[in-house]
Amino acid sequence: MSLSNTPSSSSPLSNLWLTRPFSERSTRIFLTVLALALAVVTVLHLALPAGHPLHVSSYTVTLLGKYLCYALLAVAVDLVWGYLGILSLGHGAFFALGGYAMGMYLMRQIGDRGVYGDPVLPDFMVFLNWDSLPWFWHGFDMAWFAFLMVMLAPGLLALLFGFLAFRSRVTGVYLSIITQALTFALMLAFFRNEMGFGGNNGLTDFRELLGFDLRSDATRLGLFLASGVALALGYVVCRGIVGSKLGRVCVASRDAEARVRFLGYRVERVQLCVFVVSAMLAGVAGSLYVPQVGIINPSEFSPLFSIEVVVWVALGGRGTLYGAVIGAILVNYAKTVFTGVMPDAWLFALGGLFVVVTVLLPKGIAGLMSRRRKADSETQLKEATP
Amino acid sequence: MRITRCLTLWLLLCALMLALLGSAQAQQDDPGKPLLEALASASYAAKSDAIDAIVASGDSRSRAWLEALNDGKLQQNKQTGQFVVVLANRGRNWPVEDALSGEPLGEMSRRELDRIGINNALRGQLRSTLAVLDLYVDNPDARLQAANDLLGQVDAGMVAPLEAVRDQEPSEAVQERLTEALAIYRLEQGDAQAIEALSGSLHPEARAALNGAAASDDPALAAQAKKALDGIEQTLKINRGFETLYFGLSLGSVLVLAAIGLAITFGVMGVINMAHGELIMLGAYTSWGMQQLLPGQPGLAVILSIPAGFLVAGLAGVAIERCVIQFLKGRPLETLLATFGVSLILQQLVRTLVSPLNRTVITPEWMSGSLVINDALSLTLNRLYVLGFALLVFAGLMLVMRRTRLGLEVRAVTQNRAMARSMGIRATRVDMLTFGLGAGVAGLAGVALAQLTNVGPNLGQSYIIDSFMVVVFGGVGNLWGTLVAGMSLGVINQVLEPWAGAVLAKIIVLVFIILFIQKRPRGLFPQKGRAAEG
């Protein structure tokens, strides 16, 4: 998409929507911080001996990798909620679908090393007395196909769902509730053994990814770094969309949908396009999440998880993208601490967070930071003009 | 096990007899004495006649005598000729009691006693006689039960007495049952005439007999039986249809109860209350708590928990409105998130304060059991009560909204807040009361649900999505829509269940609603006019 109408564009790079974000200050800061964090963790993990107080264990590396996947998911949610005004309570479904696509590939990689030693069928199918692979499992032995499906499966679901929903102008609260029903229905479906996705237990016992042993520290570090790179790419893509003309139509339709429609834009197409991109990003996040935690089961579809993602974004500050990353990492760090120290208190804390953020912090942490900056500049102004 | 049961029955009968007879004086000219003496005669033919004579006498003790005789426990003292019933025939000395008066006589040595012997023929006679004996009692329900037990149990020896009983039976229902029982026996003997009597029966025994006849070698009999079976199958299908409808309506009533409070808060006020499910849960826990307060009186507890559940949930609702929702006016998505947080807190609160485990609420006696329509169709009473309760709550809510000052104010504020306020309506107070009302109705739903399922911290969660679906499907802001939508979703779910399974049926319904919303975004009964624009 060309951006010839942006007056500030001077260098040829800023004419491309994907390279434009690199000229933004906030994106540069974000990418620098992310790169620094990745580098520091890698160095601390590799260079220091295991007993050293600053050593980052491979458990922590995986945990941080998990946070990065969550952050990418939060960025995807923020793209549709913050800029499109669509509160999706079903993004966990796209995340889980991406995860399942990766899980299916990992299952096929186990080969004949499963408990039952069947060269083709995963263990749970042997256990259920299935004699052949269901049609939708074919092709997942090839990495390129699986990685394609990681994006395609959630993308197609979002395309179908979004097409139906946006065409009939289901928006606002209705859409939120329907997305929640969607993920709830998918959860019920995936819980069934007959669906062929491992039912209640999901997919687990993974061994290797692209030939790398999933249990080795090097692979874990690699996955952590891959998650970081995916987050950076996802962030840049979202930033690119947001800064483009498409992004401006998004924001406009968030604030005054009817007016944008009267101006001649096909709002439903804009919404559909961004919604599908967001779902694909969520799928990628899920696919990187699964090899790190080593299991994917239907509970990832639970409405609670999807709505939790929304509160990460709300805490960080919707409509900022970097806020979503901050929110995701903060809340999940708090969750790790709380569930370790006092597991009972976690739901109180999470529930309280929902209330406090919506009532007292409508703009989230990012809003706090920018308010402070604004206040600073105002006092500077005052000082400058006696 | 059986012996103990016999013994208890026996003791009860004895106590009764004691009360009846009063004194041992009456024993001298007891009419039962010659009957028992006849039993003690040597010939088995005479004993058989004596059994018939006992039955014909209609003596209230006859059942106990015949059972004791059957068990070999009716014995005679060798010296005195006194008839006794042995209570336990183990060891050397047996506890006995007088067969006529029922007085306990302490222990007697087994050598002192002489057993009144019976042979196999007599045993058969006794068995059928005992089966028929219950048909002589005065209580028609007990007679019907006895006749029911006879289905498929009739043998050759019972036919004649049963026919005699049937002809003098005053109750038609019992008569019909006896005819059926006899017809089953005759059909088993290959009597084609019996098929007609069975063609209207829905009892599984009758169907089993007909199935047996349909597989017989006699082609005419088989064809006739098959025809009768087809007829029965047809009736059964209709009955099954009714049963599905009943279960569907029952599920629908639960959905309506759960959704109707939401229809007020979401539909009328436009507030998305994700904590609605937890308000239902609070109502259910109130019901449980009331039972803990009133142990042994489940009926009273249920009745009291209706207002209590309304109050508890309603007050919780008012608190939520005051503390959270009023600050989020006009920001529906934020309201959704905040109330979701409240729901998490409430769940964890119950887990911490009560227990993470499920609790059971006892169903009072007048609500348990079922209403038997016919052999193939019986309606469980507790579901029937919940169905009635749902309709009552609906009607009550309708009245409040249409006929009271509060309802008028609520409608005014909904339609035009600014104008209502300028007319002197305190909009914030109306908001609070409306939300309290919706929450209170959720509490009522919880009280009803406690009668159907276990009460646990996750109770509400499982209803919240369904409730929203009902409200959205029915059309926001329309109570009638909620009723129709809830009932129809319940029935659809139950109709789908037999061939799709419970989980798949639920998924199909969800997908159906999602598609339906695409077609009609404002539900079954959309609001029209200015109110719809907001």
Write out pLDDT tens, residues B420-452: 889 988 988 988 998 999 999 999 999 998 888
Q: Count of A–B CB contacts within 8 Å? A: 120
pLDDT of B534 higher than 50: no
Q: What is the mean pLDDT of residues B373-383?
A: 78
Q: Is A52 helix (H, G, I), strand (E, B) or coil?
A: coil
Question: How far apart are the two ends of chain B, measured CA to CA in Å?
Answer: 72
**In angstroms, what separates the C-alpha of A6 from chain B's closest C-alpha?**
33
Question: Which of A38-42, A218-222, B111-115, B479-483 shows the lowest mean pLDDT across its residues?
Answer: B111-115
- Is residue A48 within 8 A of residue A55, CB to CB? The reply is yes
Count CB-CB contacts under 10 A for residue B257. 29
Q: Can you tell me the distance from the alpha carbon of A31 to that of A36, in angstroms, rounded to the nearest whole number?
A: 8
Tokens 């995916």 found at: A230
Query: If you average pLDDT over every residue of chain A, what do you get?
Result: 84
Residue A381 has pLDDT above 70, yes or no: no
Give per-residue pLDDT as tens, A39-64.
Answer: 888 888 888 777 777 777 888 888 89
Mean pLDDT of the region B29-44: 76
**A18 part of a folded domain:** no
Residue type, B349: L
Find residue B96's DSSP bridge partners: B86
The reply to whether A117 touches chain B by the CB within 8 Å rule is no
Query: Residues B518-522: what's their mean pLDDT?
Result: 74
A354 chain-B contacts, CB cut-off 8 A = 337-338, 340-342, 344
Quick check: B303 pLDDT over 70?
yes
Low-confidence winner among B70-84, B394-408, B476-490 (lowest mean pLDDT): B70-84
Q: How far is A386 from chain B (nearest CA, A)?
A: 38
With a cut of 50, say whether residue B26 has pLDDT above it: no
Handedness of CA A361, A364, A365, A368 (dihedral sign): negative
Lowest-pLDDT choice from A151-165, A350-364, B176-190, B520-534: B520-534
Identify the residue with better confidence: B378 or A331: A331
What pLDDT score was predicted for residue B3? 60
The burial of A59, by beta-carbon neighbours within 10 Å (0-12 exposed, 13-18 middle, 19 or more buried), is given as exposed
Query: What is residue A376's predicted lDDT score, i.e. its pLDDT?
Result: 63
Which positions in chain B have a beta carbon within 8 angstroms of at least one beta carbon in chain A? 272, 324, 327-328, 331-338, 340-345, 347-349, 351-352, 465, 468-469, 472, 503-504, 506-507, 510-511, 513-515, 517-519, 521
What percentage of chain B reaches a pLDDT higher than 90?
12
Within B167-212, strands assigned E span none
Give the CB-side neighbour count of residue B481, counting CA atoms within 13 A: 23
Q: Once rounded to an integer, what is the mean pLDDT over residues B10-31?
A: 56
Rounded to 5 degrees, φ, ψ at B75 are -135, 165
DSSP B100-137: TT--EEEEEEGGGEEE----HHHHHHHHHHHHHHGGGS
Percent of chain A with pLDDT over 70: 92
Smallest CA–CA distance from B465 into chain A, residue: A181
Q: For B108-112, B262-266, B371-375, B480-484, which range has the lowest pLDDT when averaged over its residues?
A: B371-375
Q: What is the pLDDT of residues B446-486, one digit of tens each?
A: 999 888 888 888 888 878 888 888 888 887 777 888 899 99
Q: State residue A385's pLDDT score.
A: 47
Whether A384 contacts chain B with CB within 8 A: no
Average pLDDT over residues B193-211: 74
Indicate yes or no: CB of A165 within 8 angstroms of CB of B518.
yes
Inform me whether the pLDDT recorded for B506 exceeds 70: yes
Q: What is the pLDDT of residue A284?
A: 93
Checking if the pLDDT of B110 tops 80, the result is no
> If you search the block for the tokens 């639960």, which residue do you land on?
B254
Residue A358 lies inside a defined structural domain of this protein: no
Q: Please say whether the beta carbons of B406 and B240 come within 8 A.
A: no
- To which residue do tokens 């120290």 refer? A341
In a domain, A255, yes or no: yes
Is A181 part of a structural domain of the chain? yes
Contact A359 B337 (CB under 8 A): no
A347 vs B: CB within 8 A: yes
* 3-state SS class at B86: strand
Q: How far is CA B120 from the centre of its chain?
A: 42
> In chain B, which residue's Cα lies nearest the Cα of A173?
B333
Residues in chain A with CB shorter than 8 Å from the CB of B333 are 87, 172-173, 176
* Amino acid A342: pLDDT: 83
**Averaged pLDDT, A243-269:** 89
Closest CA–CA distance from residue A43 to any residue of chain B (Å) = 39
Most B-contacting residue of A81, A178, A187, A335 (CB-CB within 10 A), to test interface: A178
Percent of chain A with pLDDT over 90: 22
Asked if B284 and B417 count as a contact pair (C-beta separation under 8 A), the reply is no
Q: Has residue B24 got a pLDDT over 50? A: no
The per-residue pLDDT for range A76-129, each reduced to its tens digit, is: 999 999 898 888 888 999 999 999 999 988 888 887 777 777 777 887 888 877
Are residues B338 and A307, on separate chains, in Cβ contact within 8 Å?
Answer: no
Which one of A163, A358, A360 makes the best mutation probe of the B interface by having the most chain B beta carbons within 10 Å?
A358
pLDDT higher than threshold 60 for residue A2: no
CB contact under 8 A, B517 and A170: yes
pLDDT band at A377 (very low <50, low <70, confident <90, very high): low
A343 touches chain B (CB under 8 A): no
pTM of the model: 0.76
Flag whether residue A283 sits within 8 Å of chain B, measured between CB atoms: no
Residue B51 has pLDDT above 90, yes or no: no
Q: Test A358 with B351 for CB contact under 8 angstroms.
A: no
DSSP category for residue A238: H
Closest C-alpha to B300, from B288, B291, B308: B291
**pLDDT class of B396 with cuts at 50, 70, 90:** very high
- The reported pLDDT for the residue numbered B222 is 77
Coil, strand or helix at B95: strand
**Do A176 and B333 count as a contact with CB atoms less than 8 A apart?**
yes
**Residue B25 reports pLDDT greater than 60:** no
Query: Of A72-86, A114-128, A190-204, B37-51, where does the model show the most confidence?
Result: A72-86
Percent share of chain B, pLDDT over 70:
91
Task: Return the pLDDT at A43.
Answer: 85
Bigger pLDDT: A370 or B242?
Answer: B242
Shortest CB distance from A358 goes to which of B328, B469, B518?
B328
Q: Are A351 and B517 in contact (CB < 8 Å)? A: no
Residues of B in contact with A316 (CB under 8 A): none
Give contacts of B515 with chain A, Cβ < 8 Å: 164
Residue with the larger pLDDT of the pair B190 and B69: B69
Across A319-333, B107-121, B219-233, B375-389, which has the greatest mean pLDDT? A319-333
Instruction: Give the CA angle between residues B102, B103, B107 to the nearest 5°.
Output: 115
* CA within 13 Å, CB half, A160: 10
Least confident stretch, A86-100, B32-46, B270-284: B32-46
Would an 8 Å CB–CB cutoff place A187 in contact with chain B? no
- Which of B417 and A5 is assigned the larger pLDDT? B417
pLDDT in tens, B136-160: 777 777 777 777 777 777 777 677 7
Q: Is A179 on the interface with B (CB under 8 A)?
A: no
Residue ranges making up the domain that contains A270: 27-306
Tokens 């139509």 sit on residue:
A249
Any bridge partners for residue A212, and if so which?
A209
pLDDT band with cut points at 50, 70 and 90 for residue A285: very high
Quote the pLDDT of residue B442.
92
Cα distance between residue B256 and residue B254, in whole Å: 5
Report the CATH architecture of B242-362+380-532.
Orthogonal Bundle (1.10)
Query: Least CA distance to A179: which residue of chain B?
Result: B514
Q: Which residue in chain A has the smallest CA separation from B343? A: A351
Q: How far is B329 from chain A (nearest CA, A)?
A: 10
- Of A152-156, B223-227, B242-246, least confident by mean pLDDT is B223-227
Six token digits for residue B304: 């009291």
Count of structural domains, chain A: 1
pLDDT-based confidence at residue A73 (cuts at 50, 70, 90): very high
pLDDT band at B23 (very low <50, low <70, confident <90, very high): very low
Element (DSSP H or E) covering residue A287: helix A267-293
Alpha-helical (H) ranges within B58-114 are: 62-70
State yes or no: ipTM above 0.90.
no
Question: Which of chain A's residues have a Cβ under 8 Å away from the Cβ of B521?
Answer: 168-170, 174
Question: Which residues on chain A are in Cβ contact (under 8 Å) with B341?
Answer: 311, 350-355, 358
Residue A250 located in a structural domain:
yes
For residue B17, what pLDDT is reported? 56
pLDDT-derived band of residue A75, with 50, 70 and 90 as boundaries? very high
